[in-house]
Chains A and B, each alone.
Chain A
Amino acid sequence: MDMVSLNIVGGILVSICRDMGVTLMRTSYSTIFSESLDFTCGLALPNGDLVATGDYCPSMIGGLPLLLRSCAREIPIEEYEEGDVILHNDPYRGGLHTPEHTFFKPVFVDGSLIGFAVAIGHVCEVGGLTPAGFAAEATEVFHEGLRVPPVKIKRAGKDVDDVWRLLLANVRTPRYNYGDFRALIAATDLGERRMADLARKYGVAAFREHGAALMDYSERRMRAEIEKIPDGRYSFSDVMEDDGIEDKASTIRVEVTVSGSNIVVDYHGSSKQAKGPINGTLGVAHGAAYNAILQLTDSTIPKNSGCFRPIRVLAEPGSVVNVNFPGPSVGGNTETHCRIANVVMGALASALKERSAATDGASHSNFLFGGTDLKSGEFFCCYDLTPVGWGGRSFANGNDAVGGINGNCPHIPVEVFEYRFPWRVEEFKLVDGSGGPGKFRGGLALSKTIRCTDTPLTFSYMSDRQKVAPWGIHGGHAGAKAELFICRAGSEEWLTVTRAFNKVSPSKFANVPIRPGDRIKISSPAGGGWGPPEECDRARLREDLLDGFVTEEQAHTVYGLR
């Protein structure tokens, strides 16, 4: 085997994963897939090693190896048949949270199992306490929707009807879930066909050899990157400001030990498991550590299980980074993943100054709602994410208003949002002056104001960073905090949800009733700044000032512009 053929096979495998994602996007029913691309597709070997993945949602890429491990442990290889599809979303068996549904399809060539095609996606509605998931006031997993251990949803090419009936009887939007499940299965069908074709073309033995070599290659490249980091022990901490149940912060502490070409990411010392649903699962703890290290190393390293081999993750059971049954965890994969990944990046910031970045807004401002369509009488749900500002870097300002570090998920376009759901978008804008000042400022936050048109809705929210600002680094300042206000129909007074509905948390709450005419204003958090603001290039600062990205007051008082 030579490097040319290895790169060709590696490229084909990644391209299969990307095509699986396009299939999923084009055939799904819900905007969380068709617009926000909250999914990932991958190909794995029979032992559960991930051999290739599409560059969709980073949190899922890092989480897949543990999910595959559970399947490999719980379903013996001899029990797989051609045409089977296995479904799995269990947070305590390597899953990320209940909405993340993973579909595995075994791939056979001439009767021999050569691997799995995998599609994992965030299913919008999962039952439980709130429409559209994210039961922000959950205190146990049973509030967070149906938990599915590895089960066959298709057996030898045929639907297992009993499983489908059980799944679709436990959600508010069975038609949408049916369509989204079919889209996820269609992605695995495509992956299965293409992977089998590739193995037939090269021969099964050569295919296996290439798969193993690809992972070894990724491991070598990752080890070479880690060796550039000075040996040592680096620590950092940050907090989740509350958990939706108690007004109490949870600390995420990390100690990153670099030794030669190995890294140990140790979260021991983090807070105990929270009562509310901000806990990360072990899959989240792994995914966030891998995400951070991939951010800090060569982005061209092929993403597979090989590049994760040098990284060991230690997450104490019963802590905020490794929830124990039956603790809630639905916010862990969005809000807490961001915080964990940024804490790992913060720890390594002194060792990798040129590659370091201040924190991004590190929240998805998850906006969930559901209601009954006035014309059809059918219940609908929506999961909408709000982009954040990214952190300043050693060479550039942070990106303005893009998906958080773990999601890579685009915002639903305004036209689609208004067409599909009973809202009018009254304002949608960058928040001037929100980026943390710095030699390179943080990316700007996004603000949107929406008005409910004609349908009563139930609204829930899962976010953070309304009390604790996103940090700057190397002398950079903090970015602006997030906000959420509601203005009831007939009133001009904008209130926080804690004031209007007596909720514990302004950023995590469930089931607020919305009436036609009610308005909501969401501002996401901005990115922190990198380096001292007084070192900011004056020409670039003046340009930012002209664009309105930096305010007059900031320019003079913080940046010292004369």
Chain B
Amino acid sequence: MKFAQNRLYIEAYNKCPNCGLLLYEEPSGGVSGAVTFEGRLFCSPWCVNWTVDRRRRRAAEAAVPASTSPDPARA
């Protein structure tokens, strides 16, 4: 989250694209512990790794139809 210089209002709500956590900008600029991946700011390397893994896994699942738990919307 990026505050105005006088700290009275918010200029941008920045969230980690993976876990969704609000990323607070430090007074010195930048976000502690954050890493940039594919042009987006993630809260941690763990979230980058998970994003890459999920993408790979779901691409593989899309190629082979999997049996899933019952979809209650169709029950």
Q: Which residues in A have some Cβ–Cβ distance to B below 8 Å? A: 70, 73-74, 92-94, 234-239, 249, 251, 264, 266, 268-269, 282, 285, 312-317, 322, 324-325, 346-347, 349-350, 359, 468-469, 471-472, 478
Beta-carbon contact of B71 and A237 below 8 Å: yes
Which residues in A have their C-beta under 8 angstroms from that of B58? 269
Beta-carbon contact of B75 and A314 below 8 Å: no
The closest CB in chain B to the CB of A90 belongs to: B10
Beta-carbon contact of B75 and A469 below 8 Å: yes
Contact of A316 among B20, B24, B71, B72 (CB under 8 A): B20
A314 touching B69 in the complex, CB below 8 Å, given contacts A324-B13, A325-B13: no
A236 touching B69 in the complex, CB below 8 Å, given contacts A92-B13, A268-B54, A325-B13: yes
A471 touching B24 in the complex, CB below 8 Å, given contacts A313-B19, A325-B13: no
Beta-carbon contact of A346 and B72 below 8 Å: yes
In the docked arrangement, what's the CA distance between A92 and B70, Å?
A: 33
In the docked arrangement, what's the CA distance between A539 and B71, Å?
A: 32
- CB < 8 Å A-B pair total: 70
Beta-carbon contact of B72 and A359 below 8 Å: yes
In the docked arrangement, what's the CA distance between A94 and B24, Å?
A: 12
- Name the interface size band of chain B: 20 to 34
Q: Which residues in B have some Cβ–Cβ distance to A below 8 Å? A: 1, 13, 15-22, 24, 47, 50, 54, 58, 68-73, 75
* Cβ contacts A to B, 20 pairs, < 8 Å: A73-B24, A74-B24, A93-B22, A94-B22, A249-B73, A251-B73, A264-B50, A282-B20, A313-B19, A314-B47, A316-B17, A316-B18, A317-B15, A317-B20, A325-B13, A347-B69, A349-B69, A469-B75, A471-B70, A472-B75
Which residues in B have their C-beta under 8 angstroms from that of A237? 69, 71-73
A contact face: mostly helix, strand, loop, or mixed: mixed
Other contacts beyond A74-B24, A315-B19, A322-B15: 13, CB < 8 A: A93-B22, A94-B22, A236-B69, A237-B71, A264-B50, A266-B50, A282-B15, A312-B19, A314-B18, A317-B15, A324-B15, A325-B13, A469-B75
In the docked arrangement, what's the CA distance between A315 and B15, Å?
A: 10
In the docked arrangement, what's the CA distance between A312 and B24, Å?
A: 19
